[in-house]
Amino acid sequence: MDGLADFDDAVLGGGLSAETEAALKEAGQLRGVEPALAMAALMRARSLAPDHPAVLIAFYRHHFYGHRLAAARDIARRALTVGALALDLPTVWRDVPDRPLPEAGSGARTRFYLFVLKGYAYLSLRLDDQNEARDALAKLRELDPEDRVGGALLEAVRVRALVGDDPDAPDAADAPAFGAAAWARASGTGHRPGASA
């Protein structure tokens, strides 16, 4: 890939050779039927375009839907590095400065990075790596304070589980919250409708 416009196009699936596209298509068709053959097709795609976002996404999905969460998280780590390079950020997500990323609502490479960080946090929760999940969600809050990628919902689930509430139970007292208000509610720092001040 040459340049940021190419990366933006790649996030949307562009910039692949016909051979790479064919390998990804084959992997998708075989994923639920013949996982070993699907992995072989993914390996072909990786050999042709190792850091292409579409290839990383396909690997992530293959492992995630195959219930290989640790492997999916490893792919998320690699995708974070690739996304960081496209954004000229430090390659270790913990070292990214705590400030909002521009274009969180519309920029393809920014949204790719934020969604991958959210996926990484989710997988960390599922793998019972609570500290890693907490830290990834805290970083996501700093980078996406308006909650453009929906990380606050994941943080709310994490916090509810910590205090012993059923994380899937609806809370009738809560009206929908969006943006910074969603992050505030998720962390327990925001005012809740119906709660005494």
pLDDT for the residue numbered 1: 47
Cα four-point dihedral sign 98, 60, 110, 156: negative
Phi, psi of 179 (to 5 degrees): 65, -140
Q: How far apart are CA 137 and CA 117, in angstroms?
A: 8
pLDDT per residue, tens digit, the chain (197 aa), is 445 557 766 666 678 899 999 999 999 999 889 999 999 999 999 999 999 999 999 999 999 999 999 999 999 999 999 999 999 999 999 999 999 998 888 888 999 999 999 999 999 999 999 999 999 999 999 999 999 999 999 998 898 888 876 656 665 445 556 667 777 777 766 544 334 33
Q: How far apart are CA 167 and CA 18, in angstroms?
A: 44
Please report how the helices 108-126 and 53-65 are oriented relative to each other, as an axis angle in degrees rounded to 10: 20
CA-based R_g, the chain, Å: 18
pLDDT for the residue numbered 97: 97
Domain ranges of the chain: 3-187
- For the domain spanning 3-187, the CATH number is 1.25.40
